Amino acid sequence: MAEIVTVTGGEVRGSSVGGVTRFLGIPYAAAPIGPARFEAPRPVVAWSGVRDALEFGPTCVQSPYPPPIHALLGSDGIPGDEYLHVNVWAPENAGGDLPVMVWIHGGAFTRGANSRTIYDGTAFARDGVVLVSINYRLGISGFANIPGSASNRGLRDQIRALEWVRDNIAAFGGDPGNVTVFGESAGGMSVVALLAAPPARGLFRRAIAQSANGSAVATAEDADKVARQLADLLGLEPTAAAFGALGADELRSAQDALALELLADPDPERWGASIITSGLGLMSFFPMIDGEIVPDRPVDVLAAAPDRTVPLLTGWTAEEFRFFTFPTGLAAAITEQTLPPLLARYGLDPAVVDRYTANRPQAGPADVFAAVLTDHVFRDDAMRIAESSAAAGNPAYVYEFAWRSGIADLGACHVVEIPFVFDQLDAAHALLGPTPPQRLADEVHRAWVRFATHGDPGWSRFDTATRTVRVFDSPESHEVADPRADELRALRRAKLTSGASV
């Protein structure tokens, strides 16, 4: 394809290497500066001449990850105001009507960017897909419920980016009628939210939700509490005008300070029950139920209105929560005595420990905690969303990524599957260890390409009778009918017994 294309706003120049043309940092909306930071995304500002799209663009204001996580993932932070942009990778000689995949990055809704090396779209373009990765507003900028502001601004940005794809992707050889939206962690939660969001209907044909859930939303009342705590911390009136006057450093410092206060004092009376249970006390700013973009908890919307579903690929890593338990040092504080109240804090009946411990007689309390939270936060909702899709007659495919990292204590943890999906193993040794299996990357990446192209990743469809799950592992992957079903049943009883929503 040509290295200069015309998009909304003007012409952009990309670069070609090895049969792939890439365009970096193309704006899909105006820079959210001042009070506009708290408004719905505005139309992109046109430019004159040809705009170079040769380098990654700015990122939304954020702090580096804490040292243990930074050592595994690195951090993001390119300064600048024009951070509502997309990157596009396409085959150099794209002839048109190629499948399109739109990637939404994770980072707990407060961190992350589309510039991360493991999100490089070269392998997808090599295999005949037009890959788009997007940035969106994070943290205070994207999700703080400031009076007078637009709600769920980060999700509104994602919808605007998908509209940009609809209007412009043909210029890169892509088919606007064959778009698959996919994301991981907060990006996967965003995918599920977009499935349930009325304004997003018709903007994508298929969805892939990696390590996601459909329950991590705050009530408007609890989001109000967080906003008041934030305003008190800053000594400001809680208005969009007052917050719009803050600079990037002030926003960053306030975001970090509030997160530390939440961790130090996870009192539901102070923050709201949904912040502690749905956000696990780990997320200060995340989507809230607003009746417009987020009508209700997405998992409930999809169950009640299965017509909102689309062909779906969803799954989890087998030991997701080890990522949050062992590198952070939390594991050392989890004992037989502290485990029950810790589970109760997350809205679970501690009796659930009995089933998980019986299945893991050699596991310590921290291992059991990580197993329970893996299912509570990720596996349970993934299965529920697949159930909704299957009930609607839409194809649903479920996976578990079980390959264990070569880094001590991580196991098959959160994030570990991403370099396999993008076929970027060389960029992720700090997370994967020295010898990740390329055969498995070939298999996983091929499955994602197949699903985006034809709607079939290459294994049996999920249905409510067989509940088939593809287990990705090395040396061989395989299919399992309803893996660890006894644990999932026990977990769902624990939610019901505790009074937690399910």
Percent residues over pLDDT 90 in the chain: 84
The pLDDT tens digits for 227-270 are: 999 999 999 988 888 998 999 889 999 999 999 988 888 888 88
Position with higher pLDDT, 249 vs 471: 471
Across the strands, what pairs with 16? 21
* Active-site residue, selected from the candidate residues 141, 185, 215, 405: 185
Tell me the mean pLDDT in the region 401-429. Answer: 96
| 89-96 average pLDDT score | 89
Which of 310, 339, 356 finishes a domain?
310
Query: Is residue 105 among the annotated active site residues?
Result: no
Angstrom CA distances, 363 to 207, 407, 415, stand at 35, 18, 23
Per-residue pLDDT band at 1 (split at 50, 70, 90): low
Q: Can 11 be counted among the known catalytic residues?
A: no
Whether the predicted pLDDT of 498 surpasses 70: no
Selection from 323, 14, 297, 344 nearest residue 172 by Cα: 14
Q: 1 and 49: one domain?
A: yes
Once rounded to an integer, what is the mean pLDDT over residues 181-196?
Answer: 97
Tell me, yes or no, whether 137 and 182 share the same domain: yes
pLDDT (average), residues 188-195: 97
Distance CA 223, CA 225 (A): 5
- How many structural domains is the chain composed of? 2
Residue 337 and residue 248 share a domain: no
Give me the torsion for CA of 491, 496, 499, 502, rounded to 10°.
80
**Least confident window among 32-36, 76-80, 270-274:** 270-274
Residue type, 442: D
Domain shared by 297 and 371, yes or no? no
Sheet holding 98-104, edge to edge: 15-17, 20-27, 85-91, 130-134, 98-104, 174-184, 206-210, 312-317, 396-401, 468-472, 478-481
- Between 181-195, 257-271, 290-304, the lowest mean confidence (pLDDT) is in 257-271
Identify residue 359 by its one-letter amino acid code: N
pLDDT of 162 > 70? The answer is yes
- How many whole angstroms separate alpha carbon 237 and alpha carbon 224? 13
Rounded mean pLDDT, 67-88:
93
Q: What's the pLDDT score for residue 281?
A: 75
Closest Cα to residue 211, out of 309, 319, 58, 111? 319
What is the model's pLDDT at position 429?
Answer: 86
Distance CA 476, CA 482 (A): 18
Residue in 92, 184, 319, 320 annotated catalytic = 320
Domain edge (last residue) among 310, 335, 356: 310
**466 CB contacts (<8 Å, ≥6 apart)?**
460, 481, 482
pLDDT at site 264: 85
Res 502: pLDDT: 39
- Residue 17 pLDDT > 50: yes
Domain limit, last residue, from 248, 277, 310: 310
Q: Pick the catalytic residue: 85, 376, 414, 445?
A: 414
Cα end-to-end distance, the chain, whole Å: 48
Position 11, amino acid: E
374-404 in b/e burial notation, b at 16+ Cβ within 10 A? bbbbbbbbbbbbbbbbbebebbbbbbbbbbb
Pick from 366, 306, 309: nearest CA to 338: 366
Whether the upstream peptide bond of residue 475 has omega within 30° of 0, thus cis, is yes
In the prediction, which pLDDT does 95 show? 81
User: Cα separation of 157 and 183, whole Å?
Assistant: 15
Domain of 300 in residue numbering reads as 1-310
Residue type, position 75, single letter: S
Query: Coil, strand or helix: which one is 181?
Result: strand
Task: Classify residue 312 as exposed, middle or buried by CB count within 10 Å of its CB (0-12, 13-18, 19+).
Answer: buried
pLDDT by residue (tens digit) across 281-292?
778 899 999 999
Which pLDDT score, from 0 to 100, does residue 267 have?
A: 85
Residues 205, 263, single domain; the answer is yes
Residues 6+ apart with CB under 8 A from 364: none
Quickly state the pLDDT bin for 496 (edges 50, 70, 90): low
42 and 182 housed in the same domain: yes
pLDDT tens, position by position, 214-228: 999 999 999 999 999
185 has catalytic annotation: yes
Q: Which residue has the higher pLDDT, 140 or 93?
A: 140
DSSP state of 151: S
- Residue 488: band (very low, low, confident or very high) from pLDDT cuts 50, 70, 90: very high
Q: Are residues 392 and 250 in the same domain?
A: no
Q: Average pLDDT in the 477-497 region?
A: 92
Same domain? 360 vs 277: no
Q: 397: pLDDT confidence band, cut at 50, 70 and 90?
A: very high
Nearest in space to 207 (alpha carbons), one of 133, 309, 105? 309
Assess whether 94 and 190 both reside in one domain. yes
> Structure tokens of 335?
């004992």
Residue 501 pLDDT: 46
Same-domain check for residues 248 and 356? no
Same domain, 369 and 269: no
CA dist 15 and 437 (Å) reads: 31
Residues 149 and 192 in one domain: yes
CATH of residue 430's domain is 3.40.50.1820
Q: Give the mean model confidence (pLDDT) for residues 26-34.
A: 96
